[in-house]
Structure 1
Amino acid sequence: MKGRSLTEVLAGALVLLVTGSFLAYAVTNSGRGGFSGPGLTLSAKFERIDGLAPGADVRVAGVKVGSVVDQRIDPATFLAVLTMRIDSSLRMPADSSAEIASEGLLGGRFVSLVPGGADRILADGGEITITQSAISLESLLGRFIFSMTEAPARGGEAAPTQP
């Protein structure tokens, strides 16, 4: 009986060890952790940032190069201000743009940076001024449904007949 309980304890410890190592692997390789290491801090203002939270990816050409570190409201303009930390080896031109993109219909949101062609480079603490806000899927669906319900009413009117 005592040998069996020791075996059960060892098997339980092995399961916990495997689970812990799987969890550590998943966290370090999922791309969801915050951007670590030296980086360049940039900010950008958006009308909407629906579903974007601190820790979200910042990508260039689909490759993660940083993360969102802060979000706040500008009290003067009521725009959402995102602060991002990106890899300091990237030299982002001053006319680069930022847009809130989605990974898919049910996926999360991320910031996509599109490098411009200017000779001047954004410095640490610089601001990206060309932005495109998040597109609300619910709003688009609502407009589509509204336009579909209005179409038969407009198209179903009979033309006046002439005697």
Structure 2
Amino acid sequence: MKGRSALEVVTGAGVLVVAALFLFYAVVHGGRTIRTEGMALSARFDRIDGLPQGGDVRIAGVKVGSVTAMRIDPETFNAVVEMRVDQALRLPTDSSAEITSDGLLGGKYVSIVPGGAERFLADGGRITETQGSVSLESLLGRFIFSVTQLNQPQQGAGAAPATPNAPATARP
């Protein structure tokens, strides 16, 4: 095996430095910061598939906070999501939260829909109206099942079942 030339070594080192700079930039400017200030809220969901810690909390599509922790309630086996939102927001006590995705293949986030109550959630409050994550695989499975059910031949009462491999009869 021939020895490496100095040009190959310098080129390889340059490629590694550029890759490290791209990685550093992506981590620093990725937008996945966990807020440590703001009002602490929690919500219980039946499913939180794909929701990352540090994920966005949004109202009307605008980021107002982030997910700080996730855990399982050992009594109800629901997922408890803890989040921090902007302290200036006055969220009514009947506000709701749902796990939503950015698009068909996008990341998940918590979407808060403010209610209309006259009382407001305090620091450490809990959002009680929630909608968990919807699984794309589950929806596709249900769709495929319903389509196959619709495409099966309907058999009426007293009708003989169709036999797909029956020999054809000759006509005189």
Q: Could you state the TM-score of these two structures normalised by the residue count of structure 1?
A: 0.79
Question: Alpha-carbon deviation of 1:105?
Answer: 1.4
Aligned-partner SS, 2:146: helix
Say which one has the larger Rg.
2
AA partner of residue 60 (structure 1): I
Amino acid at match of 2:99: I
Superposition deviation, residue 110 in structure 1: 0.3
Partner of 2:50: 51
Distance across 1 between alignment mates of 2:72 and 2:111: 20
What does residue 142 of structure 2 align with? 143
Q: What's the CA shift string for 1:132-152, capped at 9, x where partnerless?
A: 011111111111111111222
The residue correspondences of 1:1-163 to structure 2 (distance < 5 A) are 26-36=26-36, 38-153=37-152, 155-158=153-156, 160=158
Bigger helix share: 1
Superposed structure 1 runs of 4+ greater than 4 Å apart: 18-29, 158-161
- 1:26: Cα distance to partner? 4.5
* 2:162 corresponding residue in structure 1: none
Long gaps (5+) in structure 1: none
Give secondary structure in 1 for the equivalent of 2:141.
helix
Secondary structure in 1 aligned to 2:150? helix
Letter in 1 for 2:98: E
| Counterpart amino acid of residue 46 in structure 1 | F
Deviation at 1:156, TM superposition (A): 3.3
Q: What CA distance in whole angstroms lies between the structure 1 residues aligned with 2:39 and 2:154? A: 59
Deviates more, 1:40-49 or 1:85-94: 85-94
Partner SS for 1:147? helix
CA RMSD of aligned residues (A): 2.9
> Deviations 1:113-136 (Å, cap 9, x if unpaired)?
011111111001000000001111
Distance 1:108 1:123 in 2: 28
What TM-score does the superposition give when structure 2 sets the normalisation length? 0.75
Q: State the distance in 2 between where 1:158 and 1:115 align.
A: 52
Check the 8 A contact 1:97/1:115 in 2, yes or no: yes
Cα distance per residue 1:62-106 (max 9 Å; x no partner): 011111111111111111100001111111111110000011111
Residue identity in the other structure for 1:55: G
Aligned residues, how many? Answer: 154
For residues 19 and 140 of structure 2, the distance between their equivalents in structure 1, rounded to whole angstroms, comes to 42
